[in-house]
Structure 1
Amino acid sequence: MSPLPAHYTKHLSQLQYPFRQSTFYLTQLDNGQTNGSALWLGAQCLSCYLADILAKKSFTSRPKAIELGSGIGLTSLVMATLGWDMLATDLPDVIASVLFPNITRNLPTLPPGAGTIQVRSLDWLKLPEEWNWQDPVSIAPSSPKTHEWLEEGEMLEPPFDLILSADTLYSPSLSEPLLRTLHALAMKSVKATSGHAPPVYICLERRDPILIDQVLADARDHWNFVTERIPHKKVAKALERGGLQWEREDWDGVEIWKLSMKTV
């Protein structure tokens, strides 16, 4: 059964979301208090595209990624199913209401070989100099405690192999902090062997073209990123192979962008 586009399921408090041989049981809220507590198209499209391009990649050790604005947790769950260790981050209220409950509910049911998921708060308004990677609950300081530490062993921290974010470009006030956060994470994840930073994948809905174009221009001109839009046909093929049998109008306006940092 193909998952429905998010705008058809906003009224549902509980979602059964099939992915490959798994089914994720996801709580969402549609109370208007925060965009991050419900499923959006960007997470659906990004998770499906990543599953398609990463399926045949091999790594000498388990890869790890960080997601900004994880929301209800779909993308992080998909990545963990693919064998990635995921650091899922969001604001404390989103973590407490939907993200942490969804991860704790679904993590034990992931298939053999799956990666783990750690949940920590990260407020983009906090400067990177203030981050604390040794805090098991909050990377940024002074955040209220929203959940317990899930995992034994080492906490996930840079360097990361991928940096991800979906449905997070919608407010001018948050755009510059988001770019600053992406830049800092990319710099912390530059590989010593190659000198290359990991790719950043952003999925967005082009509701405000002026805002989106300005953010992409800022990413290039002020934050040293090369920006590349993934062709619509490639995304469409990935959705089809991933079982999302949608009409084009179901996800019209959704774009996936790859940001690559110039390190030399």
Structure 2
Amino acid sequence: MTSSQPAHRTKHVPVLRCPFNACTFSLTQLADGVSNGTALWLGGQCLAMYLADTHPKFANKHRRPRAIELGSGTGLTALALSSLGWDVLATDIPHVISSVLAKNISDNLSALPIGSGIIQIRELDWSVPPENWTWDHELVIASHSEQSSAAPTPALLQPPFDLIISADTVYSPELVQPMLRTLHGLCTASSSASATARPPQIILCVERRDPVLLDRLLADAKENWKFTVERIPHKKLVKVVEKSFQWDRSDWEGIELWKFKANQ
């Protein structure tokens, strides 16, 4: 099935064919209730469309641009950004990586056009504080599971990042502070990695299912973590969605794009 439909209409489909620019990605998804991250969600679709239209303004002009994604899920947004010429570090929890993410990235590498960036996958558990992260392990940045030691690998993607992205990851109060701490830690690591690196832009794509939860996230980001928080005008999202798909506005009217910037 070709998924030019909003994701909530295709949760029952085990393998989706997702068109993006000149590519078509084949994505396995699971709707077994074990994890929210194993199915395609609307925010990932909208974020991919937004990046297709705007990604050059976030790029580093002196090297291939580099992004990290929190909660990569089925891998659509990571594949989309890679196809636009970005190196992408896709992160998630072990169950999502082993059940859908690793397979989808591997299966779709041949669909990427010439000039695409590389994609790497690593575990990043938000509940692990940044002082306990590692950037030289090929499988893990942060985990509560004990990992075998690994020799440093120069080819691994690591800070500085130019862009941090995340979609459909604001759904539980328990995740708010770990997520904001993780975002702040990534910004700090990027700034520390290069004296000339500017703090990475952060783009969150969220669906306003729980207004109280989302408002808490935004307030905490500003008050407790000192991020500059700005909503990307809805008309920009309307423009890119309508350019890609003829969706009924009611199918995605709850989607919002937010831009964070660390004040360091």
- Contact 1:37/1:71 (<8 A) preserved: yes
* CA distance 1:153–1:173, shift in 2 (3 Å): same
Q: What residue in structure 2 maps to residue 91 of structure 1?
A: 93
Q: What residue in structure 2 maps to residue 260 of structure 1?
A: 261
| Equivalent in 229, 233, 241 of residue 239 of structure 1 | 241
One-letter amino acid of the structure 2 residue matched with residue 168 of structure 1? T
1:61 pairs with 2:77: no
The count of residues paired between Structure 1 and Structure 2 equals 257
CA distance in 2, matches of 1:26, 1:216: 31
1:5 pairs with 2:9: no
Deviation at 1:238, TM superposition (A): 1.3
1:138 pairs with 2:125: no
Deviation at 1:141, TM superposition (A): 3.7
Unpaired runs of at least 5, structure 2: none
Deviation at 1:109, TM superposition (A): 2.4
**1:1-264 correspondence runs (5 A):** 3-55=4-56, 59-143=61-145, 154-190=155-191, 192=194, 194=196, 196-241=198-243, 243-263=244-264
- Please tell me the root mean square deviation across aligned C-alpha atoms, in Å: 1.9
Deviation at 1:195, TM superposition (A): 6.1
- Contact 1:92/1:143 (<8 A) preserved: no
- Report Cα offsets for 1:5-57 as digits up to 9, x if no partner: 00110000000001111110000000011100000011001111011012576
CA distance in 2, matches of 1:16, 1:104: 15
CA distance in 2, matches of 1:42, 1:218: 21
TM-score (norm 2): 0.92
- Report Cα offsets for 1:150-182 as digits up to 9, x if no partner: xx9610011100001000001000111000000
One-letter amino acid of the structure 1 residue matched with residue 208 of structure 2? R
Deviation at 1:222, TM superposition (A): 0.6
Deviation at 1:194, TM superposition (A): 4.9
Deviation at 1:189, TM superposition (A): 1.3
- Contact 2:190/2:197 (<8 A) preserved: no
Unpaired runs of at least 5, structure 1: none
One-letter amino acid of the structure 2 residue matched with residue 137 of structure 1? L
- Contact 1:46/1:75 (<8 A) preserved: yes
- Contact 2:160/2:197 (<8 A) preserved: no
- Contact 1:2/1:244 (<8 A) preserved: no
- Contact 2:29/2:74 (<8 A) preserved: yes
- Which shifted more, 185-194 or 71-80? 185-194
- Contact 2:15/2:27 (<8 A) preserved: yes
Deviation at 1:240, TM superposition (A): 2.3
One-letter amino acid of the structure 1 residue matched with residue 26 of structure 2? Y
One-letter amino acid of the structure 1 residue matched with residue 29 of structure 2? Q
